[in-house]
Amino acid sequence: MNNSGLFLIKNGHVIDPAQQIDRLGSVLIQDGAISGILGPNEDVAEADILDASGFIVCPGFIDLHCHLREPGFEYKETIASGTLAAAHGGFTTVCAMPNTNPVADTRATVDFVTSRANQDGAVRVLKIGAVTAGSRGERLVEMGELADAGVIGFSDDGLPVSNSNIMRQALSYSSTFGLPIINHCEERSLSLGSMTEGWVSNRLGLLGIPNSAEEVMVARDIGLAKLTGGRLHIAHASTAGTIELVSMAAQEGLSVTCEVTPHHLTLSEEAVLGDGHADRSFGPLGASAYDTNAKVAPPLRTRADVASLVQGLKEGSIDFIATDHAPHATVDKLTTFDKAASGISSLETALGSLMSLVHDGDITLQLLIEKLTAAPARFLGRNLGSLKSGSPADVTVFDPNKEWVVDPSAFVSKGKNTPLSGVALKGRIIATIVAGDVVYQQNG
How many CB atoms are closer than 10 A to CB 246?
23
Check residue 126 and report its DSSP letter: E
Measured between alpha carbons, how far is 410 from 406 in angstroms, rounded to an integer?
A: 8
Name 23's bridge partners.
14
Closest by CA position to 242, among listed 168, 326, 298: 298
Spell 292-315 as b/e; 16+ CB within 10 A means b: bbbbbbbbbbbeebbebbbebbee
Distances 251 to 143, 238, 245 between C-alpha atoms, Å: 29, 20, 10
Catalytic residue among 63, 324, 332, 399: 324
Contacts of 115 (CB under 8 A, 6+ apart): none
- Please give the full DSSP string across 70-106, using - where no structure is assigned: TTT-TTT--HHHHHHHHHHTTEEEEEE-S-SSS-S-S
* Phi then psi dihedrals of residue 97, to 5 deg: -70, 155
Contacts of 89 (CB under 8 A, 6+ apart): 61, 323, 347, 348, 349, 350, 351, 429
Check residue 15 and report its DSSP letter: E
Closest by CA position to 309, among listed 254, 234, 251, 253: 234
Contacts of 419 (CB under 8 A, 6+ apart): 263, 267, 271, 291, 293, 294, 344
Helix axes 350-359, 365-372, angle to 10 degrees: 150
- Please give the full DSSP string across 346-374, using - where no structure is assigned: -TTTHHHHHHHHHHTTSS-HHHHHHHHTH
338: annotated active-site residue:
no
Residues with active-site annotation: 324
